[in-house]
Amino acid sequence: MQQDIERILIPRSRIQDRLHELAREIEGVYGDQSEGLIIVPVLAGSIIFTSDLIRCLPFKMKIGLMTISRYRGATTAGGETRLVQDLNLDIRDRHVLVVDDILDTGGTLRVVLSQLALRGPASLRTCVLLRKLAKAPTDFQVEFVGFDIEDVFVVGYGLDYNNHYRNWPDIAVLRPELYR
């Protein structure tokens, strides 16, 4: 795996430091409403981020699972986003925080948020580990962002290329010849 990595963009220690800050931001925004928050990770890219983040949150919360699939070339834009497996719990009148690995064009999150909004949550907010500022749509609000990054294809810490490299512990840039 190591030979496929061109460079480390964000080392694991910086990720961990930022998670504690993010957790405090989340607590600050929800305040008294933190207790009973429902976290909805967008699978599979956000599994590692979510599992680390929620262990920094000091209040009672639940995890709601749903699976979204994006049909497209692995590193190209466009394609169709589809709900593969629906949410496993009722979010009506509950505060919901959607967690995703990366905000790129926003297509995936738009589908997730519109699906969840139909179910009458008390509030609906979004937390992403990464945001590609150059591409992220300006009309799309994300309340919590781990890191703004340049427009490069990254893997590791949950992010994949063809479902590989999710277990690489840092956020890393893949050698371009592997996907070009």
List the catalytic residue out of 104, 148, 151, 170. Answer: 104
Question: Is 104 an annotated catalytic residue?
Answer: yes
Question: Token pair for residue 178?
Answer: 């592997």
Closest CA to 22 of 130, 179, 152, 161: 130
Distance between CA 10 and CA 172 in Å, rounded? 7
**37-43 and 95-103 as β-strands: parallel, antiparallel, unpaired?**
parallel
Q: Give kind and range of the element (H or E) at residue 126.
A: strand 123-132
Size of the site for ligand IMP (CB under 6 A): 16
Q: Which of 43, 95, 97, 108 binds ligand IMP (CB under 6 A)?
A: 108
Q: What angle do CA 10, 13, 18 make, to 5 degrees?
A: 80
The nearest distance, CB 104 to ligand IMP, in angstroms, is 3
Residue type, 175: R
Which CB atom, from 94 or from 100, has the smaller least distance to Mg ion?
100
Name the segment binding ligand IMP (CB under 6 A); options: 6-14, 88-96, 97-105, 112-120.
Answer: 97-105
Examine residue 129 and tell whether it contacts ligand IMP (CB under 6 A).
no
Distance between CA 69 and CA 67 in Å, rounded? 7
Positions in 35-54 near Mg ion (CB under 5 A): 45
Residue type, 171: I
Which CB atom, from 67 or from 105, has the smaller least distance to ligand IMP?
105
Examine residue 156 and tell whether it contacts Mg ion (CB under 5 A).
no
Positions in 150-169 near ligand IMP (CB under 6 A): 153-155, 159-160
Examine residue 112 and tell whether it contacts ligand IMP (CB under 6 A).
no
Active site residues: 104
